[in-house]
Every structure is written in C-alpha cells, then in structure tokens.
C-alpha cells in the first residue's frame, strides 16, 4: 500500500473539489459506503432501482466525477453504480490493492456483494477497464 496524497493540503484540496463536482451531479443520486476488505468504498447510485444494473469503474488518478457528462443518459434506462476505486483520489479508502494479484478482484467481489448485485454490466476506462 502506498500513500496517494503528497500532503494534507493536497488531500483537502482534492476532497473539496470532488465535493463541488458531486453537487453538480445532474440526476438524483444516492451516496453509499460499502465495507470491503480494503476499507470503505464510496459508490454513487443513480437511475431506477428496478432497472438493469451497470457498474462504472473510472481510471487511475480519478474518481466517479469522470462520469458527470454521461450519467444522465445512462441513468434513464439503467441503475448505475459509479464506484470510487480504492487507492485513488475520491471517497473510498486509500488502500491500494496490489495489481497483478487477486486483491483487486476480491475487492470488487466485496463491492458487488455489498450492493447486492449477482450480475451487472460494466463500463471501465483505463484502470477501471483492466479491473
């Protein structure tokens, strides 16, 4: 595990900017905290609760604000779960599972179980696509 912020000031600045972006989320949203073996995972859930689930996984060095431009379209027909990947600058734990091991898959299993999803479609970019 490695630190993802160089300073407390940097952490605070990124957190403040992220909160600002979340206030611009263009559709109704639930903010969820899912406990996992890597620590709490922050998830934004939008769209009809009975719609087919879609899990969004952002890239490295980012968070769920990546999906601001797309969420309104997807949330019309899907229950969309924008997951802040652990170890990245967002609302999830700072633990950074070691790539190349099963740790990332086990973390994602925990997220899906915490969301009570036995199946879903996935959209990922960069690290999220790899995951």
d(CA 64, CA 18): 9
Q: How confident is the model at residue 1 (pLDDT cuts 50, 70, 90)?
A: very low
Q: pTM (2 decimals)?
A: 0.95
What is the overall mean pLDDT for the chain? 95
Other Cβ atoms less than 10 A from the Cβ of 55: the count is: 22
d(CA 32, CA 37): 16
Per domain, the residue ranges of the chain are: 8-130
- Give the mean pLDDT of 89-93: 96
Q: Is the pLDDT of residue 130 over 50?
A: yes
Q: Specify the pLDDT at position 2.
A: 53
Q: How confident is the model at residue 3 (pLDDT cuts 50, 70, 90)?
A: confident
* Domain 8-130 belongs in CATH node 3.30.750.24: no
Task: Return the sign of the alpha-carbon dihedral for residues 24, 72, 50, 114.
Answer: negative
Percent of the chain with pLDDT over 70: 98
| Interval 54-64: pLDDT, tens | 999 999 999 99
């Amino acid at each position: 595990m490695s630190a993802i912020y160089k300073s407390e000031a940097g952490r605070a600045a990124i957190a403040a900017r992220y909160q600002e972006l979340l206030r611009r989320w263009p559709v109704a949203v639930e903010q969820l905290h899912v406990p996992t073996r890597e620590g709490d995972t922050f998830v934004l859930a939008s769209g009809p609760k009975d719609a087919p689930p879609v899990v969004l996984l952002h890239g490295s060095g980012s968070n769920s604000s990546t999906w601001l431009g797309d969420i309104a379209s997807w949330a019309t027909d899907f229950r969309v779960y924008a997951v802040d990947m652990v170890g990245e600058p967002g609302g999830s734990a700072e633990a950074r599972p070691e790539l190349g091991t099963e740790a990332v898959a086990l973390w994602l299993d925990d997220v899906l179980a915490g969301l009570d999803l036995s199946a879903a479609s996935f959209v990922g970019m960069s690290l999220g696509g790899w995951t």
